[in-house]
Amino acid sequence: MQELKEQLEEIFAEAELVSAFGELTLTVDSANIIDTCLKLRDQLAFDTLIDLCGVDYLTYGQSEWAGDVSNSGFSRGRHAQGEKDRHQQRFAVVYHLLSVSKNYRIRVKAFVDEAEPIIKSVTGIWASADWYEREAFDLMGILFENHTDLRRILTDYGFVGHPLRKDFPLIGEVEMRYDEDLGRVVYEKVSIEPNISVPKVIRKG
């Protein structure tokens, strides 16, 4: 990993490179994502995109869970995180790359604008990005410029919103059912009450 780190520092001198937990994360400007990925593929032999996802950093580092509840026998099972947001930008696209020939792995991160979360598609570099980018568009609302078939892949075509965004309601916006009289599926306002599910760990002893 040290050899790869030195190569990355030389090629991407202006980017942020972080080494933690035995992994390298390269954070680049979203405007430079194509140039960055081409260099990673052509100069460092990262020939395989193994994953791509969107990340929502809204309320990252914050928590509404009560930490001091051990007297009741229940614990939220988490560490205190503080109340300040750790990121100035809300959305990021994360790429996980593999060099088969060199057995290198790297994570590449690019933040996108919250009002217009747009970044160029890397399908021309790694064909495997196709459905990953569609998933990030569907669930996070991130747009991939020059993608040839950018449409929803997991939710219905008439679905409203992006369910992996942190401000998306847990019960959703609408519910659907089959109407016998109409002979088709109909959409209606959600009829169930919101329910916040908080994981608990029971401590014995």
**What is the CATH classification number for the domain harbouring 116?**
3.30.460.80
According to the model, what pLDDT value does residue 156 have? 82
DSSP secondary-structure letter at 72?
G
> Could you tell me the pLDDT band of residue 15, with boundaries at 50, 70 and 90?
very high
Tokens 């990252």 belong to which residue? 60
- 121 located within any domain: yes
- 171 located within any domain: no
Strand 23-29 and strand 16-20: the pairing is antiparallel
- CA separation for the pair 145, 135 (Å, rounded): 14
**CA-based Rg of the chain, rounded to a whole angstrom?**
21
Residue 160 has which token pair? 């409203």
- CA separation for the pair 93, 15 (Å, rounded): 15
- 127 located within any domain: yes
Q: Give phi and psi for 31, each to the nearest 5.
A: -65, -20
- 142 located within any domain: yes
- CA separation for the pair 200, 126 (Å, rounded): 41
Which pTM value belongs to this model? Answer: 0.81
- 96 located within any domain: yes
- 75 located within any domain: no
**pLDDT tens digits for 166-196?**
998 887 778 888 999 999 988 888 887 766 5
**By residue range, what is the domain housing residue 47?**
1-61+84-155
According to the model, what pLDDT value does residue 12 have? 95
| Residues facing 108 on adjacent strands | 26, 95
Domain count, the chain: 1
